[in-house]
Structure 1
């Protein structure tokens, strides 16, 4: 299907309640289409969001949902063959797209695409890029796998010549097993990192690197690739391309480095240096060296796109983060609760370090749920133990839906807890099943001044609110 359906046409989304699909539904509705959707699991916050914007969501998957034959169906990557609606689409020859195909068609169009890719930092870096470009007057469209606090929504069509997209390496659909970012026709790419992840679809690091090679090979000759050379896999795959290559990272051998990094009252300050020459201090509304590095990439991108330094500064200083990325949830009895999406050992380590550095002298609790396909597997048991041992107190929950991971491959939360206690030389880590019991334990043992950092890539059964409620009791 090459031509888009005319405005007012009916578009149906199968598995509409995923974060990305729900945001896409909102984008299509704003474009003037009649949008419906269906999903097996219809619950807040996505069900509330879809209801508020006037999108009819049907519970479950049923061929009757397609009885009026939509003009186009978008099939989410959670949908497999055998899904009755997907089978009806194929049997009745109804036009269909995958989620990333739809973004390429309906959001990018003929505009210049800026893709933010990598194992870590995609969401924050995408949100920061969109905000900095907006503050610089470029009015970009964007689509981010989270909710940037500056915008209040994970998408905006924008009116400018650029579109910023979070480039996910996960597969696109049952009929397209390639990474989503291959549909985004990148003119510019920020590649933040490459480490092994998504163990459910990638065999090993080499298999994952091949996916990123497929991304960089489609960057055009007049395109730009901003790459973090702190990760050997990144440096390996980006060499030899015909695009303009700009490196950044800790080593002064890179094109861009950050100097004089400091933190103060929940904000970071650094000097971006191009080939060792400082461009002056930048204030950033985020904490952590990893976020300084993300900001350095965005700064380098802006300068390479020809944006004056003075036009970039406002966006960095006024950036207010992304929900579920070091998000302050509340404070009770002098105990501050912070929510974060970290679910990879590197991200867990960086997040704990960032919070510890930002709140000097305060005891940090790490409350971690093994929920992602990778964190529930035993490939990173030692790495999780080392990362979590950076916190003063650790609570690990049982695995989310452990039955979905083969027993031989399953992470042992007990072994992680034992390893942390051995590393620290005392029993600072504990395994507790269930959000209610976790909240009760934290409330009984936390003292004024403590920081409770919750890390999960899912809802964690509302443990954030449960802890705040228990602290208030």
Structure 2
């Protein structure tokens, strides 16, 4: 067991060792710390591109594999990643040592958040996109923000930045912190302004039910100071419930009239969406280079934050116009033989539904083919088996991959793509399920026609299906 007394930051730090350094967030943190002047070492069991290339570029050569001797140089501080278990040999060596240690969220807060005003974007859906829009807008407004985000922001070609401005934008994940801290990550981020986009059941590997998730959000809300601000999507009854007892100011956004920021239903023109909104009975219009009602909501939350930062609506519009998107969020990977291949991170049923709805709005005259890989710990469980049926309502054709089974859960608790295909087929929709990505590619080669839009949905690499499909189509 790690000694809780050593879970602190030393007064003098020159060398920092990062366990699990090849995770997207951990590698980004390594780069931020390196940029701040610290000597960085690290270790991981999976060292390969693109993270290995990134670390090499910033002159960090991690140890391959976890071993006790990786700590023999006695770093001043060890940062322990979420992938590390208590049985990890390096974690056991850390427990036997007198070295100080922090989790990833603790380190981010101690080194980068505490000296700035923290804006934490939280919620089951939309965190990465909302964070990215906000960070981009603050930058183009000349406010030089710092940020750590769960996706690559196209305008920066990075998921992190250390700026000199007053704001730090953090993606507030409700997932657990580390093996020695099972509380949610966002409880470490010292919020002064918080956005709550949505609250639904997810992360079935760490939460038993929605009540546990709401309990974690209630703890988060209690962290806001009296002069803080919560921008909350009050159309979501779970969000409305948890913010009801907030001790700071709460402003709601959404389509319903009880909100402070009230959206009109949007009009989509290609890859651009226009919508009106009212605030304090004043009416305004905005346009965003994104599609879907969910992205209008994300942009509305950003607008509310920027308004409270002192930006007028016309300046906010100029900043939104410069947003270049986020990797893996409705990202067009290429076109071949008249077929457009789009990559998206959506995996929760609600995210799948909203993503496909937005794409149907953007391409109303085209056939929309959804290709889905259930890959998360939640989507590979049967808890969402029926929820996915309507999630694909806007797709004209659906192609499903059978998930890799989770270990240590009963067979009857596994998600079944073939069963989902049968249920969707009852709705008179074209749907197929396959065991492998190779079978999916073979099927798509015969299915796709000029003008089709292919939305590939997965939170993983999906066996590089995007590039393989484009090559198969002759790109």
2:415 to 411, 418, 436: 411
2:447 to 423, 428, 445: 445
Using the size of structure 1 for normalisation, the TM-score is 0.96
Task: Establish whether residue 232 from structure 1 lines up as the match of residue 237 from structure 2.
Answer: yes
2:466 to 460, 464, 468: 464
Map 1:245-264 onto structure 2 (within 5 A): 245-259=250-264, 261-264=266-269
**How far has the Cα of 1:30 moved from its partner?**
1.1
Contact 1:126 1:144 in 2 (8 A): yes
Task: Establish whether residue 283 from structure 1 lines up as the match of residue 281 from structure 2.
Answer: no
Counterpart CA distance in 1 for 2:141 and 2:165 is 11
In structure 2, what is the equivalent of residue 334 of structure 1?
Answer: 338
In structure 1, what is the equivalent of residue 153 of structure 2?
Answer: 148
2:390 to 386, 392, 401: 386
The number of equivalent residue pairs is 469
Counterpart CA distance in 1 for 2:278 and 2:202 is 31
Counterpart CA distance in 1 for 2:269 and 2:66 is 51
Deviates further, 431-440 or 53-62: 431-440
In structure 2, what is the equivalent of residue 315 of structure 1?
Answer: 319
Counterpart CA distance in 1 for 2:111 and 2:136 is 21
Task: Establish whether residue 374 from structure 1 lines up as the match of residue 367 from structure 2.
Answer: no
**How far has the Cα of 1:306 moved from its partner?**
2.3
Q: Any idea what SS the aligned residue of 2:102 has?
A: strand
Contact 2:114 2:190 in 1 (8 A): no
1:433 to 432, 435, 454: 435
Q: Any idea what SS the aligned residue of 2:18 has?
A: strand
Could you list the per-position Cα deviations for residues 249-291 of structure 1 after superposition, in whole angstroms to 9, with x for gaps in the alignment?
A: 1102210012252111211112231144212x22212111100
Counterpart CA distance in 2 for 1:311 and 1:259 is 21
Counterpart CA distance in 2 for 1:328 and 1:5 is 47
Deviates further, 111-120 or 434-443: 434-443
Contact 2:8 2:102 in 1 (8 A): no
Counterpart CA distance in 2 for 1:101 and 1:456 is 29
Contact 1:286 1:319 in 2 (8 A): no
**How far has the Cα of 1:345 moved from its partner?**
0.4
Counterpart CA distance in 1 for 2:160 and 2:262 is 30
Contact 1:342 1:455 in 2 (8 A): yes
Map 1:1-400 onto structure 2 (within 5 A): 3=9, 6=12, 9-259=14-264, 261-279=266-284, 281-400=285-404
Q: Any idea what SS the aligned residue of 2:150 has?
A: coil
Q: Any idea what SS the aligned residue of 1:208 has?
A: helix
Using the size of structure 2 for normalisation, the TM-score is 0.96
Contact 1:195 1:205 in 2 (8 A): yes
Provide the aligned C-alpha RMSD in A.
1.4
Listed as ranges, the gaps of 5+ residues in structure 2 are 1-6
Counterpart CA distance in 2 for 1:39 and 1:404 is 24
Q: Any idea what SS the aligned residue of 1:351 has?
A: helix
Could you list the per-position Cα deviations for residues 317-351 of structure 1 after superposition, in whole angstroms to 9, with x for gaps in the alignment?
A: 11111100000000000000000000100000000
Counterpart CA distance in 2 for 1:430 and 1:391 is 13
Contact 1:257 1:276 in 2 (8 A): no
**How far has the Cα of 1:354 moved from its partner?**
0.5
Could you list the per-position Cα deviations for residues 221-267 of structure 1 after superposition, in whole angstroms to 9, with x for gaps in the alignment?
A: 00000000111100001012220110011102210012252111211
Counterpart CA distance in 2 for 1:432 and 1:365 is 15
Contact 2:8 2:100 in 1 (8 A): no
**How far has the Cα of 1:298 moved from its partner?**
0.6
Q: Any idea what SS the aligned residue of 2:119 has?
A: strand
Deviates further, 117-126 or 22-31: 22-31
2:425 to 405, 412, 421: 421
Listed as ranges, the gaps of 5+ residues in structure 1 are none
After superposition, the Cα gap between the structure-2 partners of 1:405 and 1:365, relative to the gap in structure 1 and judged at 3 Å, is farther
**How far has the Cα of 1:48 moved from its partner?**
1.8
